[in-house]
Amino acid sequence: MSSGRSVARPLPRDPRPVRRVRSSVRSGLVWGVVAAACNIILIFVSGLLGVPFLVWPSPNGESVVLGPLSVIGATLFAALLAGLLAGLLAKQVRRAGQWILIAGVVVTIASLSAPLGQPTDIPASTKVVLTIVHLVTGALVTFGLVAGLRTDDRAAR
């Protein structure tokens, strides 16, 4: 028996949790520091084994020594940029973790053109170590961003 009154119903919940870009940037930087530490250890051990770190980014065609500060700076910059873009993406799309995983794999594969595209003057051992550095950075930062989003999703429930 209806008395003509309607019962208030809650509004449907937005499936995307409230996320802050700051959380993704922080997650990217934390995992960027971890990746930078792993890369420095890898470069240090490779240097002890005699791997030269001469690369060819110079416009006048000379090889340049790749120092540890360059590796740290590039790793942290990539992690900061990835965290910022992941945070912005997570605010806009559903299933952001899947999209970030796909983007991380694509960007990591694209970044391999830098070490593998070095001229033949650069030793193969240097190319291999730099390829591993790119893979470590891509894997750790991507994993960290996806894990951070999953943590955000669980906290919103």
CA distances, 54 to each of 13, 51, 110, 127 (Å): 55, 9, 21, 10
Evaluate if pTM is beyond 0.85: no
Distance between first and last Cα of the chain:
36
* Residue boundaries of the structural domains of the chain: 21-156
pLDDT on residue 150? 82
Q: Cα separation of 81 and 19, whole Å?
A: 17
Nearest to 66 by CA among 132, 130, 125: 130
Token reading at 15: 């499936």
Residue ranges of the chain whose pLDDT lies below 70: 1-4, 11-19, 57-58, 152-157
pLDDT on residue 157? 46
